[in-house]
Amino acid sequence: MERRKYAVIGGDMRNLYLAELLKKDYQYVKIYGFDRSGKAWASKNPPIDSVLDGVQIIVGGIPFLTDEDYINLPCSEEKLKFSDVLDKIPENSLLIAGRITQSTVEKLSKKNVKCIDIIKREEMAVLNAVPTAEGAVSILLQELPKTLMDSTILIVGYGRIGKILSRMLSGFGTEVWVAARKYSDLAWIEAQGFKPVPFPQIDRYIGDMDAVVNTVPALVITRDILKKARTDCYLLDLASVPGGIDFKAAKALNIKFNWALGLPGKVAPLTAGDIIRKTIYNIIEEERGVY
């Protein structure tokens, strides 16, 4: 891998591990926004001008900006407004981050800076499904009052996470039910030895579940469905915004729930950082000769 200049600005611990991994690959790396990480070498933020000086690739967090248009710095005491950084970003560089807003893309395009949203990369999504599923298992082990072997669990959605999580839970001896929309997915679910549930029939089976794990980023577990669940049924939502469970209804019905966002960065930041590293290298390979 050819040596390049990187600036890793903000994001959670997976980005700090990313910086360490890039350095092990003999890349030139400067960081900003990790003074609360607990890592001695990251305890002080250098001037942002020096971090961005001459860099070819800028890596931000997931998301890149907060709602207030500040750069996402969850591991820092400092605040950094994007508008204050914009002029310091080198022309013809590459920004790789998550959930990059259209306005950010438009502002950077005037400097001929290309933006790539890393969460839209398929390889990133597939590899991230593993730490997400492991994180879900960890939460279930802590929250359920019984062993997974004695539990009946419904997974809603048979995408990347649903496929991996169903196999993991099956390995614990869990009775796994999986809800899906497509007939082809329902056939695969049955072929894998799990119990298939068509989406319109979730309300018929939810009353038998010890836990429900949602992976669909759209409201699928509605109030009407939750009314048929047991009050000791544990609800775990792994989906991105807006989630798939009616949390307001769950609270009113006194059903315990957890919306567990960003599990890879919380439960396996080193692995998640390595996944980002591999994805960045794939992007650079695709952009060969430009960066």
Which whole number is the average pLDDT over 108-130?
95
Unique residue bearing structure tokens 């695969």 = 188
The pLDDT, as a whole number, for residue 68 is 80
Q: Which of 34-43, 168-177, 184-193, 204-213 has the lowest mean pLDDT?
A: 34-43
Structure tokens at 257: 């729930």
Distance CA 32, CA 10 (A): 6
For 245-287, what is each residue's pLDDT tens digit? 999 999 999 999 999 998 998 999 999 999 999 999 999 999 8
Strand, coil or helix: what is 204? helix
H helices of 67-208, in order, are 82-86, 102-109, 122-143, 160-171, 183-191, 202-205
- 3-state per-residue secondary structure call for 61-102: CCCCECCCCEECCCCCCCCCEHHHHHCCCCCCCEEEECCCCH
The pLDDT, as a whole number, for residue 90 is 96
Q: Domain spans of the chain? A: 5-120+267-286, 129-260
Residue 289 in this model has a pLDDT that exceeds 70: no
What 102-110 contacts at long range (C-beta under 8 Å, 24+ apart), as own/partner pairs, is 104/64, 104/65
In the beta sheet, which residues pair with residue 197? Answer: 179
For 126-135, what is each residue's pLDDT tens digit? 999 999 999 9
Confidence of residue 291 (pLDDT cuts 50, 70, 90): low
DSSP string across 234-290: EEEE-PPTT-SB-HHHHHHTT--EEE---HHHHH-HHHHHHHHHHHHHHHHHHTTTT
Quick one: CATH architecture of 5-120+267-286? 3-Layer(aba) Sandwich (3.40)
275: nearest Cα among 112, 72, 174, 125: 125
CATH code for the part of the protein at 129-260? 3.40.50.720
Which whole number is the average pLDDT over 8-19?
97
The pLDDT, as a whole number, for residue 287 is 85
pLDDT averaged over every residue in the chain: 95
The pLDDT, as a whole number, for residue 2 is 86
The pLDDT, as a whole number, for residue 190 is 98
Distance CA 169, CA 286 (A): 37
- 66 and 47 in contact (C-beta within 8 Å)? no
Distance CA 142, CA 136 (A): 10
Burial track 183-199 (b if 16+ CB lie within 10 A, e otherwise): eebbebbeeeebebbee
The pLDDT, as a whole number, for residue 239 is 96
Structure tokens at 7: 């600036």
The pLDDT, as a whole number, for residue 104 is 95
Residue 101 in this model has a pLDDT that exceeds 80: yes
Residue 121 in this model has a pLDDT that exceeds 90: yes
Give the Cβ contact number of residue 75 at 10 Å: 21
75: nearest Cα among 147, 10, 7: 10
